[in-house]
Amino acid sequence: MKLIVNISLKEGVLDPEGQAIKTSLLNLGFKNFNDVRTGKQIVLSFEKMEENEAILEAEKMCQNLLVNTVIEKYEINILKD
């Protein structure tokens, strides 16, 4: 089983990389968007583990290492085969 952890900055936290991308897209002529926010994605593979157990394990990983919960938020999704 694979879980996807999507991590992004919380609202109100400055995103200089997102701003740089936004400026570049505007300079290239792309105008039909409002804003750009960046983030990261982590794919976790679990073997021989129940779905609920894997989600709880991923939650612990996020809280202890993967996510800076002061400035970041995260979402865990199951990747269906």
Q: What is the pLDDT of residues 4-46, one digit of tens each?
A: 999 999 999 999 999 999 999 999 999 999 999 999 999 999 9
pTM of the entire predicted model: 0.89
Q: What is the pLDDT of residues 38-64, one digit of tens each?
A: 999 999 999 999 999 999 999 999 999
What's the confidence (pLDDT) of residue 81? 67
Which band of pLDDT confidence, cut at 50, 70 and 90, is reported for residue 80? Answer: confident
Which amino acid would we find at residue 30? Answer: F
The Cα–Cα gap between 41 and 31 comes to 26
The CATH number assigned to the domain holding 38 equals: 3.30.1280.10
Q: How many domains does the chain have?
A: 1
